[in-house]
Structure 1
């Protein structure tokens, strides 16, 4: 769609009744594959462009060789092929082994419409989403509508430090960022979220993990419950994200929300399966946070261009912030 549609109030969700909780299926038409990316209008992109005042571009991607959080995900394999007079290289990796976008075929509503069944965005079944010949809702749609817009950083560790509040525990799902903290942090940093903007939440997970010894990181990966901090799940949090008309969310932790979710209905289910809102995970926000604090501003231009894999599930973001 070329223009952002009218967004119904949160109280009108779910739009498809009966349907899974808080779903917005059909809002952008029966054949929609862009979800909340429909909110990124030319006006939103130009608004983001206008935030560029310093000419500073900042990388937001961890190395592809970053140790995967989930042991079942394959890390980077890189080989150089020498022909005797020139070189090629070959790479292989799980698209969610390092910094990543979760696409709409990654995580569905769980146990809906009944136990043992699952529904992705728009009602897609697990069988459809797992079929390589089915390309609907593939990550290639993020090429058709690149995730490029004005963005805002909520630097939670900085906010907590300023107010002498306890820091987040990077590796506990009971260490979460509630609705009131999101609001207070946005107010403190002068963040004004507009329709089609991208929300970037820093938890400090990267620093709390990357500085650990390799043995300690291996130990964390091997835990039965590989927990992490993140945004809390609550109806207030869902309502705020909906009413702010945020197009996509990003964080430096493994799931954006605290994970595993302490609620049977996780934010993943609603954001991806219900609204079609991309979730960015494991972004490297260290340099961005430092520069934002130095400049005293937390709004910037965000660009991302995923791998053009038709029918793909997820992708490295190839993302940058420009101030």
Structure 2
């Protein structure tokens, strides 16, 4: 990237802006950190990562979570018989964040300030039903493609006798992540899509209906520790997006309530999308099979006016 990235200690970039924000950094603000995915970056990733043609979807079924988490709308499907012609249509109704998803830049604001990315307010979003400000449809028009790297935390934890509940609050220490990066022989670079596997979705499949009901209601999930140290590490690596197989990427609720969550800083501070509830079980197996934890990623988010979040429609190619 020719763009000069300021030091973490220089955040926020403008006096009076919310903590750790980088408003005004990008020439194409609608893309946020996806500005890192230039033609050169994508071309390099394609040339280096696509070696076998093997590929795997990272999408969960749209109706995977029953009931959905965070009190979201239940997936609905209707198959329509177009009689007397022998034709069928189907109609689905979903919350775009009830399964695998990209969080967009109008999803989670700085709560105290009430501001989204680049000083956007709720009035800016809701005042005009055709508003596209901070809408993720810009990502759909360009497409998301580049190098993905998998931090297979669940596999590493099993190997090293680190025990935790895959469907409850657990804060992954940054030191563990750095150790895994070293052991997986990864060298993170600007524009990478960071993906962390906690084993949440695999653990969820083993639950009975009553336990799934409980999981949906209590909002306690594993993820990366939220702290200034972790935020600094993420900034210095300049990932184009971060993602995981769990409901929030970061640990929910945060271990340090005084610091809170990183969602506001990532989404509304930096314009960095958060991928949640990605399906990573087969990706983990493929990484082990090929002995490498980097791959090419291709994602086509939905395109409509004012996208808040979108199913990722994503695959990894080796």
TM-score scaled by length of structure 2: 0.94
Determine the structure 2 residue equivalent to 1:184.
179
Distance 2:212 2:110 in 1: 30
In structure 2, the partner of 1:115 is none
Give the drift of 1:71.
Answer: 4.9
Task: Give how far 1:74 is off.
Answer: 1.1
Query: Offset at 1:141?
Result: 1.2
Tell me how far apart the structure 1 counterparts of residues 104 and 186 of structure 2 sit (CA, whole Å).
27
**Is it true that 1:37 corresponds to 2:23 in the alignment?**
no
Inter-partner Cα distance in structure 2 for 1:138 and 1:64? 22
Contact 1:157 1:168 in 2 (8 A): no
Distance in 2, Cα, partners of 1:17 & 1:69: 40
The residue number in structure 1 matching 2:106 is 105
Q: Following the alignment from structure 1 to structure 2, what is the Cα–Cα distance between the partners of residues 190 and 4? A: 26
Which residue of the other structure, out of 263, 266, 272, is the alignment partner of 1:271? 266
Residue number in structure 2 paired with 1:289 = 284
Contact 1:170-1:208 within 8 A present in 2 as well: yes
Gap runs ≥5 in structure 2 = none
Q: CA deviation at 1:285?
A: 0.2
CA distance in 2, matches of 1:43, 1:181: 31
Contact 2:71 2:216 in 1 (8 A): no
* Among 118, 121, 125, the residue aligned to 2:121: 125
Residues 71 and 217, structure 2, Cα contact 8 Å, conserved in 1: no
Q: Which moves more between the two structures, 130-139 or 239-248?
A: 130-139
2:245 is aligned with 1:252 = yes
Is the partner of 1:62 in helix, strand or coil?
coil
Q: Residue in 2 aligned with 1:16?
A: 14
How far the C-alpha of 1:126 sits from its partner, in A, is: 2.0
- How far residue 257 of structure 1 moved from its aligned partner, in angstroms, is 0.2
1:58 aligns with one of 35, 56, 72: 56
Separation in 2 of the partners of 1:168 and 1:313?
Answer: 32
Supply the distance in 1 between the matched residues of 2:316 and 2:149 (Cα, whole angstroms).
10
Q: How far off is 1:294 after superposition?
A: 1.6
SS of the equivalent of 1:167 reads: coil
Alpha-carbon distance in 2 for matches of 1:302, 1:150: 6
Aligned partners of 2:68 and 2:74 also within 8 Å: no
Could you tell me which of 128, 150, 153 is aligned with 2:147? 150
TM-score scaled by structure 1? Answer: 0.92
Deviation larger for 128-137 or 232-241? 128-137
Give CA-to-partner distance per residue, 1:212-257, whole Å, 9 cap, x none.
112210122233xx11000001111111111111000110000000
User: Are the structure 2 counterparts of residues 122 and 71 from structure 1 closer, same or farther at C-alpha, using a change threshold of 3 Å?
Assistant: closer
**Greater helix percent: which structure?**
2
Give the number of equivalent residue pairs.
311
Contact kept, 8 Å, 2:117 with 2:268, in 1: the verdict is yes
Preserved contact between residue 168 and residue 176 of structure 1 (Cα < 8 Å): no
Q: Cα RMSD over matched residues?
A: 1.5
The aligned counterpart of 2:71 is: 72
